Amino acid sequence: MKKLIAGNWKMNGSLAANEALLDALAQGLTVAPACEVAVCVPAPYLAQLRALKSTRAALSAVGLGAQDVSAHASGAYTGEVSAAMLKDLGCRYVIVGHSERRQYHGETDVLVADKAKAALAAGITPVVCIGETLAEREAGHTEEVVKRQLAAVIHTNGHCISEIVVAYEPVWAIGTGKTASPEEAQAVHAVLRAQLKAATDQSARVKILYGGSMNAANAALLLAQGDIDGGLIGGAALKAQDFLTIIAAAHA
């Protein structure tokens, strides 16, 4: 299974900065990467990224992704973006349940599961984020928390669960510069792998990404772990050379 390196730009970017970043990535991707690559960008820039990708052959295989999606198909939900709209704009992926959405917008496990269902119904791969806070880890609740979050998605999506991507993002390591050790990350990934295996006989198809401050310096060690199938990259995805270094580290 090819690894997946997905950039999460978060609320960053501008028309000029986006074009410069895509140009730098195109120059660095002269050889087809051994992994799958995606960039998940703010909704206002999806159309721009789609257009930029179409004129740069080196980026043809880079998947376009969004950072959130509505659980609703359409209707009176001002400010929300439906999965059908994302599909219209060429999105292959969408992040759901990022800890920042859970923390700042009160998203529950059930809502995250419903968002994953909406994405799957539109033919978009949801990148389902799960992870524990520092307090939960220190209290010894890591396994309980991540299994609960994933169980909600499994319950709602049933046999379609083999079509998702899971991203383990320990909340205490997101944007803090702290990173779970390769052994700590692998231990949680192994728990999630076992949970998926119990839920579907197609579990081998599900990529489990690590997403807690993965960067150019630590990517190779993290990606060498047996159950880490790629990375969901935050700040390093905004620096072309760092992102390219991580992509290079993600050989099968």
pLDDT at 252: 60
Q: What 3-state class would DSSP assign to 30?
A: coil
Average pLDDT over residues 42-68: 97
Average pLDDT over residues 91-119: 97
Three-class secondary structure assignment of 50-95: HHHHHCCHHHCCCEEEECCCCCCCCCCCCCCCCHHHHHHCCCCEEE
pLDDT at 43: 98
Q: Cα–Cα distance between 49 and 165 in angstroms, integer? A: 22
The amino acid present at 33, given as its one-letter code, is P
Q: What percentage of residues in the chain have a pLDDT greater than 70?
A: 100
Tens of pLDDT, residue by residue over 214-238, are 999 999 999 999 999 999 999 999 9
pLDDT at 184: 94
Tens of pLDDT, residue by residue over 124-138, are 999 999 999 989 999
Which single residue is written with the structure tokens 């269902």? Answer: 117
Q: Cα–Cα distance between 65 and 202 in angstroms, integer? A: 24
Q: Which residues are catalytic?
A: 98, 169
- Structural fold of domain 4-249: TIM Barrel (3.20.20)
CA dihedral 79, 86, 14, 35 (to 10 degrees): 140
Tens of pLDDT, residue by residue over 158-198, are 989 999 999 999 998 877 777 789 999 999 999 999 999 99
Q: CA torsion sign, 118 to 97 to 196 to 39? A: positive
Average pLDDT over residues 242-248: 97
Average pLDDT for the chain: 95
pLDDT at 96: 98
Q: Cα–Cα distance between 218 and 76 in angstroms, integer? A: 45
Q: Cα–Cα distance between 208 and 146 in angstroms, integer? A: 13
